[in-house]
Amino acid sequence: MPEVLDCTNGGAAMSRWVYVGGGSGPNGTGGAAQVLGVHAALLPMGQQGRVLYFSGSQWVEAPLWEAIENEPNPPADSRYPAGKAQIDHTRLYDYATRQVSNPGSPDDDLFCSGHAFRQDGRLVVAGGTQHFPDPTEGDLHHAHWSGTRSSRLFDHTAQ
């Protein structure tokens, strides 16, 4: 169960934080949060709501996924489970139970995507990383990153 921390400023309570982490390893892996939460959205579900957080590749190159993502039917490729694991970094945190679950990720690297809510409460997630730049280009922060043109909906009412 995640640890609950009360944050104060000179004895006056400012906010209440729920720590979902625990020690995490390289690129945010591990800990109770399980993944690096690059993107997050509070979903209108459950008694107190849930937070969907995701990051695709977590800024770690996904060579198996890059090798199969543009195939006509990636799930038919024998490398699909291992490749999909490189980008399956979506988690759902339930405030009422303080539990983290994996609702699964779409077949896109959602790292560097954008998101917004539709009026009906579904979350639109657009873009993401198509390919990592060539490491010989030098500093990855200034290299050319190709983006994906896909858009996805996360429907919080779907089971």
What are 47-87's pLDDT values in tens digits?
Answer: 678 899 998 888 788 889 989 988 999 999 999 999 999 99
Which residues, in sequence order, are bridge partners of residue 90?
54
Cα(55)–Cα(45) distance, integer angstroms: 21
Looking at the chain, list the stretches that DSSP marks H as alpha helix, in order from N- to C-terminal side: 63-68, 80-85
Contact 47, 96 (CB under 8 A): yes
Per-residue model confidence (pLDDT) at position 34: 84
pLDDT in tens, 86-119: 999 999 988 888 888 999 999 988 988 999 999 9
pTM: 0.76
Cβ density class 98-136: b for 16+ within 10 Å, e for less: eebeeeebbbbbbbbbebeeeeeeebebbbbbbbbbeee
pLDDT band at 22 (very low <50, low <70, confident <90, very high): low
Per-residue model confidence (pLDDT) at position 148: 82
- Kindly tell me if the per-residue pLDDT of 140 is higher than 70: no
Cα(154)–Cα(147) distance, integer angstroms: 20
